[in-house]
C-alpha cells in the first residue's frame, strides 16, 4: 500500500509541473508533441526528416531525452533549430520537471512547435505528462505487429501512431494491417501514418498534418 501511495504522490507532483509547462506553452502559443517509442524505432530519424520538411514553414525547437550521451542533440542541431539535450543517467523516461529545466536553456521566442523526443521506452513514458499537446508513438515494422497489445498503455494515451521503416516490409513477417487493427483495438481514435525515413515515404503527409494542427492550435488562442 505504501508503494502505491508513493507512486501516486510522485505522479501528482509531476502532473502539477506538467500543468505549469502547459501554461507556459499556452502563454507563448506553442504547440508541443511528445514523441515516444521503443529504442531503435527511428524517433530521431523521424525528427530529422520532420525538420527537413518544416524548414521555412514553422519555427521549431527540440528537447532531446536520452539515457546517456548528447548524440541525438548533435544530430538535430545540424538543422539549425534550438535544441537542448536531457541526459537521464539511466532514467527510463522524461518527467515534467526535467522538461521544465530544459526549457530554461531554450530560446522560445517565436517558437511555434516544440518537439520533445522521449527516452526509448514504451512503459514508463505512458504515465508521465510533460505538458505536451499530444503523444506521438512510433512503432517500427521491425518490432512486429503485436506491439500495441504488449504495451497498451502507451497506445491508449497516444493521439498519433507512426508506423516507421515501411521500406523493410518485404523482408519482415510484420503485417501492417494487423498492426493497425491491434492499435485501433486499443485506441480507436488513433491517427495513423506510415513512413520510411530511408526513402522519405509518408513523411510529407505526416508533416502536412502536423503543420495543420499547429496553425489550428494558434487559431484557437
Domains of the chain in start order, with CATH, are 2-219 (3.40.50.300)
Q: Is 173 exposed, middle or buried (0-12, 13-18, 19+ CB in 10 A)?
A: exposed
What is the structure's pLDDT at 5?
46
Q: Are 160 and 129 in contact (CB under 8 A)?
A: no
What is the structure's pLDDT at 193?
98
For the chain (221 residues), the mean pLDDT of every run of 10, in chain order, is 49 93 96 96 96 96 86 88 87 91 93 96 92 98 97 97 98 97 98 98 98 84 50
Residue 216 CA to residue 194 CA, distance in Å, equals 23
CA-angle at 100, arms to 99 and 104, nearest 5°? 110
What is the structure's pLDDT at 181?
98
| pTM of the predicted protein model | 0.92
Residue written as grid cell 530521431: 44
What is the structure's pLDDT at 1?
37
Amino acid at each position: 500500500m505504501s508503494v502505491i501511495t508513493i507512486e501516486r504522490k510522485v505522479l501528482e507532483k509531476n502532473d502539477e509541473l506538467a500543468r505549469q509547462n502547459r501554461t507556459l506553452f499556452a502563454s507563448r502559443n506553442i504547440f508541443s508533441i511528445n514523441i515516444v517509442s521503443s529504442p531503435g524505432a527511428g524517433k530521431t530519424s523521424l525528427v530529422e526528416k520532420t525538420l527537413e520538411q518544416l524548414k521555412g514553414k514553422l519555427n521549431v525547437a527540440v528537447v532531446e531525452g536520452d539515457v546517456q550521451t548528447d548524440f541525438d542533440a548533435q544530430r538535430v542541431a545540424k538543422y539549425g533549430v534550438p535544441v537542448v539535450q536531457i541526459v537521464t543517467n539511466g532514467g527510463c523516461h522524461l518527467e515534467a520537471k526535467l522538461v521544465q529545466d530544459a526549457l530554461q536553456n531554450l530560446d522560445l521566442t517565436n517558437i511555434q512547435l516544440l518537439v520533445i523526443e522521449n527516452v526509448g521506452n514504451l512503459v514508463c513514458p505512458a504515465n508521465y505528462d510533460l505538458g505536451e499537446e499530444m503523444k506521438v508513438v512510433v512503432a517500427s515494422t521491425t518490432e512486429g505487429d503485436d506491439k500495441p497489445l504488449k504495451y497498451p498503455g502507451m497506445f491508449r494515451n497516444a493521439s498519433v501512431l507512426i508506423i516507421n521503416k515501411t521500406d523493410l516490409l518485404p523482408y519482415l513477417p510484420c503485417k501492417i494491417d494487423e498492426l493497425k487493427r491491434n492499435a485501433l483495438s486499443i485506441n480507436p481514435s488513433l491517427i495513423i501514418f506510415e513512413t520510411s525515413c530511408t526513402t522519405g515515404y509518408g513523411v510529407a503527409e505526416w508533416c502536412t498534418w502536423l503543420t495543420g494542427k499547429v496553425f489550428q492550435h494558434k487559431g484557437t488562442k
